[in-house]
């Protein structure tokens, strides 16, 4: 395929169809591009937008981020998931400050903590005009379809074919726009299940479309099946109003947060006592939770009731949380656990599951006035 024709068609489509995203207004700022690229990995853009705005307000430059504590960075990232990205970004900002500025070569960018080939190509092409093709999930899908590639495009020869085709297609004069255009096409037109081939600017160059079977590509290996996990969560409170405190603990990174996860994945985040259950059995979970709460706080702790079940997804795990609410008049928790006021807890790094649990606890502690009056509206 002569790359000139699809290049022009794609760039012209991008000019009229590119989404107005905040980081696209600052391509000359490699730090802003790096933040956006790390946030967008494994995460939908609409989820990223409010986090990006908040993060850039708190840490507008690599200098500001380098000066922050890890707890401040994690708190700003909390809810976005995949927290290793936040730690890497923090370390990358420190490396940039130590080096006296953002590296402007692919090799230099690649050496920043947490930056792989994809991110280096994205930042390098967008901010410095370096002619490096990006290969992310969207690009893999588009190229595998353009080529009607019969092998797995994520491994071995298939991956090599995708990399080479992406590099051959890249417009060396406008590599940043071209890379973004190809990713945008994958996100908006060449979707995984229903590609809108009729409106695609590349349809006359697409072997899968011309063969009448775009959905047959890419040829990916079967996904790992989702697994269900059950956990009882112990939410203990003491005090009232502004003095209300919740029993919590900062994760040390010695214990994995879920089966199959690295132990330090949520290091630095705050969590409530929890127990892994073999099955969803509220009665057994309640007995075990009472026993555990007593182990942490002694005899003065009393069960106040159950809270609604919550579900939380992490990678292939579908986690069912069975929360129990306890109250204690006065209690000194055993080592490792602390009383933290609700106000303070909300400012600390909390992963999505803990945020949901806290929200549910607050709703139980402050029921709507109608239910307090016994009205069934």
| List 40, 135, 189, 340, residue binding ligand SF4 (CB under 6 A) | 189
- C-alpha to C-alpha distance for 322 and 232, rounded to whole angstroms: 5
Q: How far is it between the farthest Cα atoms of the chain? A: 77
Min dist CB 48 to ligand SF4, Å, is 24
**Nearer Cβ to ligand SF4 (211/302):** 211
The one segment of 36-44, 203-211, 281-289, 339-347 that binds ligand SF4 by CB under 6 A? 203-211
| List 197, 247, 293, 361, residue binding ligand SF4 (CB under 6 A) | 197
Min dist CB 168 to ligand SF4, Å, is 16
Min dist CB 191 to ligand SF4, Å, is 8
Q: Which of residues 113-152 bind ligand SF4 (CB under 6 A)?
A: 142, 145-146
The one segment of 159-167, 169-177, 200-208, 247-255 that binds ligand SF4 by CB under 6 A? 200-208
Q: Is 200 in the site for ligand SF4 (CB under 6 A)?
A: yes
Question: Looking at 37, 274, 292, 354, which residue is catalytic?
Answer: 37
- C-alpha to C-alpha distance for 322 and 302, rounded to whole angstroms: 17
**Nearer Cβ to ligand SF4 (53/168):** 168
- C-alpha to C-alpha distance for 232 and 274, rounded to whole angstroms: 5
The one segment of 16-24, 59-67, 187-195, 266-274 that binds ligand SF4 by CB under 6 A? 187-195
**All residues at 6 or more sequence positions from 47 whose CB lies less than 8 Å from its CB, including other chains:** 80
Q: Is 202 in the site for ligand SF4 (CB under 6 A)?
A: yes
**Nearer Cβ to ligand SF4 (99/210):** 210
**Nearer Cβ to ligand SF4 (182/234):** 182
**Nearer Cβ to ligand SF4 (109/144):** 144
Min dist CB 57 to ligand SF4, Å, is 37
| List 6, 27, 158, 214, residue binding ligand SF4 (CB under 6 A) | 214
| List 27, 30, 195, 257, residue binding ligand SF4 (CB under 6 A) | 195
Q: Is 40 in the site for ligand SF4 (CB under 6 A)?
A: no
Q: Is 319 in the site for ligand SF4 (CB under 6 A)?
A: no
Q: Is 13 in the site for ligand SF4 (CB under 6 A)?
A: no
Q: Which two tokens stand for residue 54?
A: 């908040």
Are 266 and 251 a contacting pair, CB within 8 Å?
yes
Of residues 296, 175, 183, the one with CA closest to residue 234: 296
Q: Is 203 in the site for ligand SF4 (CB under 6 A)?
A: yes
Q: Is 90 in the site for ligand SF4 (CB under 6 A)?
A: no
**Nearer Cβ to ligand SF4 (48/200):** 200
Would residue 37 show up in a list of annotated catalytic residues for this protein? yes
**Nearer Cβ to ligand SF4 (87/145):** 145
Q: Which residues are catalytic?
A: 37
Q: Under the rule (CB under 6 A), what is the footprint of ligand SF4? A: 142, 145-146, 189-190, 195, 197, 200, 202-203, 206, 208-209, 214
């Amino acid at each position: 395929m002569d790359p000139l024709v699809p290049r022009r068609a794609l760039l012209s489509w991008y000019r009229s169809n590119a989404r107005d995203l905040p980081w696209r207004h600052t391509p000359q700022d490699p730090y802003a591009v790096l933040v956006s690229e790390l946030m967008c990995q494994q995460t939908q853009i609409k989820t990223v937008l409010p986090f990006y705005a908040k993060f850039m307000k708190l840490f507008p430059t690599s200098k500001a981020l380098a000066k922050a504590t890890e707890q401040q960075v994690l708190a700003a990232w909390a809810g976005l998931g995949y927290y290793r990205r936040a730690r890497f970004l923090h370390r990358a900002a420190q490396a940039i400050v130590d080096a006296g500025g953002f590296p402007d070569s692919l090799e230099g960018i690649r050496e920043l903590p947490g930056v792989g080939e994809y991110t280096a190509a994205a930042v390098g092409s967008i901010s410095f005009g370096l002619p490096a093709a990006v290969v992310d999930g969207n690009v893999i899908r588009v190229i595998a379809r353009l080529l009607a590639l019969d092998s797995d495009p994520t491994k071995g020869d298939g991956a090599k074919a995708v990399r080479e085709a992406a590099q051959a297609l890249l417009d060396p004069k406008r590599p940043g726009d071209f890379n973004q255009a190809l990713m945008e096409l994958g996100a908006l037109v060449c979707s995984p299940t229903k590609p809108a081939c009729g409106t695609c600017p590349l349809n006359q160059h697409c072997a899968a479309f011309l063969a009448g079977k775009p959905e047959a590509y890419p040829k990916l290996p079967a996904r790992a099946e989702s697994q269900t996990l059950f956990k009882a969560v112990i939410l203990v409170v003491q005090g009232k109003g502004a003095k209300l405190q919740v029993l919590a603990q900062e994760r040390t990174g010695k214990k994995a947060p879920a089966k199959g996860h690295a132990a330090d994945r949520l290091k630095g985040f705050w969590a409530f006592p929890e127990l892994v259950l073999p099955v969803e059995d509220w009665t057994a979970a309640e007995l075990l939770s009472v026993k555990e709460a007593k182990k942490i706080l002694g005899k003065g702790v009393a069960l106040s009731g159950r809270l609604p079940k919550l579900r939380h997804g992490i990678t292939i795990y579908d986690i069912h949380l069975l929360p129990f609410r306890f109250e204690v008049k006065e209690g000194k928790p055993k080592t490792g656990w602390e009383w933290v006021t609700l106000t303070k807890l909300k400012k600390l790094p909390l992963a999505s599951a803990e945020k949901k649990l806290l929200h549910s606890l607050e709703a139980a502690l402050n029921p709507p006035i109608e239910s307090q009056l016994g009205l069934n509206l």
